């Protein structure tokens, strides 16, 4: 895992956009984002049990697997959004970037690769993209039935209960 402030320079979202300003795992924890390096799926099983995750699936984001819809999907994943559930992703192969908003509402880019696991709290604004390799294989963990409902950033989300809880816990 490598984390840093996003440079906000226009250009392909799949480029590193590294400002040169490092962000540590401790910095990420202050906004509720947790990182672990797990080399065995048995370690993921333990984490899932600890956090009450009963379901999981795997997704491969690549032109080979997704065909003609790949570019549209990658653009959709890059829209700033939040979820009303905690989001856990375990990278099984390839690389990708999760961008999250910090306390100053700036983007922090988190580069993940094989064996990296990230936990995003419910209510945090974030986005995802592959890197220039256009390939990532990820395991997604779910507390109940698999779902992925993004709520794109909009002023009305300020009154969303999950967003309000996140703000009170990490941004106040």
Q: Coil, helix or strand for 125?
A: coil
The response to whether 83 counts as a known ligand-binding position is: yes
User: Measuring CA to CA, how many Å separate 148 from each of 15, 40, 82, 132, 154?
Assistant: 25, 25, 10, 24, 18
Contact (Cβ atoms closer than 8 angstroms) between residue 38 and residue 44: yes
- The neighbour count for residue 49, using CB atoms within 10 Å, is 10
Residue 103: exposure state from Cβ atoms within 10 A (0-12, 13-18, ≥19): exposed
The response to whether 165 counts as a known ligand-binding position is: no
Cα gap 120→85, rounded to integer Å: 9
The response to whether 81 counts as a known ligand-binding position is: yes
Residue 48 host element (H or E): helix 41-51
The response to whether 87 counts as a known ligand-binding position is: yes
Tokens representing residue 2 in the block: 């490598």
Tokens representing residue 146 in the block: 């698999």
Residues of each annotated binding site for Fe(2+): 81, 83, 87, 126
Residues of each annotated binding site: 81, 83, 87, 126
Residues of each annotated binding site for Ni(2+): 81, 83, 87, 126
């Amino acid at each position: 895992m490598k984390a840093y402030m996003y440079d906000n320079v226009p250009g392909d979202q799949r480029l590193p956009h590294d400002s040169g300003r490092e962000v540590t795992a401790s910095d990420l924890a202050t906004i509720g984002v947790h990182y672990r390096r797990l080399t065995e799926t048995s370690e993921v099983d333990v984490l899932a049990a600890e956090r009450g995750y009963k379901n999981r699936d795997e997704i491969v984001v690549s032109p080979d697997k997704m065909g003609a819809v790949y570019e549209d999907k990658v653009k959709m994943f890059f829209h700033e959004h939040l979820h009303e559930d905690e989001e856990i992703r375990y990278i099984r192969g390839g690389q990708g970037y999760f961008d999250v908003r910090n306390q100053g509402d700036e983007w922090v880019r988190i580069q993940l690769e094989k064996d990296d696991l990230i936990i995003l709290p419910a209510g945090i604004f974030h986005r995802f993209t592959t890197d220039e390799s256009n390939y990532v294989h990820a395991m997604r963990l779910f507390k109940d039935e698999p779902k992925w409902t993004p709520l794109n950033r909009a002023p009305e989300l300020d009154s969303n209960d999950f967003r309000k809880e996140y703000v009170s816990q990490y941004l106040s």
